Amino acid sequence: MITIQQEFFGIFEKELVTEMEQVAVIKKFMAGEVIIDIGQYIKFMPLLLDGVIKIIREDKNEGELLLYFLEKGDTCAMSIACCVGAKKSEIRAIADVDTTVAMIPNQYLDGWMGKYKSWRNFILESYSNRLNEMLTTVDNIAFSQMDVRIMNYLKEKATISQSQSIDVTHQIIATDLNTSRVVVSRILKSLENQGKILLQRNNIRLL
């Protein structure tokens, strides 16, 4: 199992890594398992040691929209805000694949900001990266047609998994992009006819 030392050595000060290893709770989540839910008070900040987490926003009609993915070495800026402000979560974090997370208790976050430069830079960079990803999501919704959004989604999944072969169902894509399975299936078939993808059972290969 990957450790905090393995993932963050050279990124954080040695003293900070030691503190993290002393206070963090390491948890494993199976693919599809909810890590943080909407309306939940967050007592720990997640540091992703292995796997992929997708961050989802839910509207009043319980429709879901994928905001961004977290990869190994990332944390969720939105959960940090809830941790520091003692607010209820407005997002749902779900393990996209089997995932290992270091859960850092809230009471250490603020102190580390003043004590460790690397931690402060990490948090600020995380905010910046997540903001840019959410702006990309907004741009896709506002300005891109669904076929472009689906291709961008598949390319991001391929980048994260480091494979052109993506294990995903039409329904999962529809849920993540807040559209219908019928629309997704029609567009995927069109993309296949254009020679951009190859459709297989519960798998899509980028060409």
Q: Total domain count for the chain?
A: 2
SS3 label, residue 3 = coil
pTM of the shown model: 0.81
Domain of 89, in residue numbers: 4-142
Question: For residue 6, what are the CA distances in angstroms to 11, 14, 126?
Answer: 10, 12, 20
Q: How confident is the model at residue 133 (pLDDT cuts 50, 70, 90)?
A: confident
Q: How far is CA 38 from the centre of its chain?
A: 15
Task: Note whether 151 and 189 are same-domain residues.
Answer: yes
Q: How confident is the model at residue 199 (pLDDT cuts 50, 70, 90)?
A: very high
Asked if residue 118 has pLDDT above 80, the reply is: yes
Find where tokens 């480091």 sit. Answer: 162
Q: What are 105's two structure tokens?
A: 């208790």
Task: Note whether 128 and 164 are same-domain residues.
Answer: no
The CA distance from 121 to 181, in Å, is 41
Per-residue pLDDT of 149-197, as tens digits, reads 999 999 999 999 899 999 999 999 999 998 889 999 999 999 999 999 9
Q: How confident is the model at residue 143 (pLDDT cuts 50, 70, 90)?
A: confident
Per-residue model confidence (pLDDT) at position 42: 84
Phi, psi angle pair for 46, to nearest 5°? -85, 130
Last residue of a domain, one of 89, 107, 142: 142
Closest by CA to 174, choosing from 150, 157, 191, 192, is 150
Last residue of a domain, one of 118, 142, 166: 142
Per-residue pLDDT of 44-97, as tens digits, reads 889 999 999 999 988 766 577 888 999 988 988 777 777 666 678 888 999 999
Q: Within 10 A of 87 (CB to CB), how many other CB atoms are there?
A: 11
Question: For residue 5, what are the CA distances in angstroms to 10, 18, 97, 101, 148?
Answer: 9, 8, 22, 13, 39
Residues 5-23 have a mean pLDDT of 87
Phi-psi region of 178 (alpha: psi -120 to 50; beta: other; left: phi over 0): left
Q: Considering the chain, what is the average pLDDT of its residues?
A: 88
Residue type at 67? L
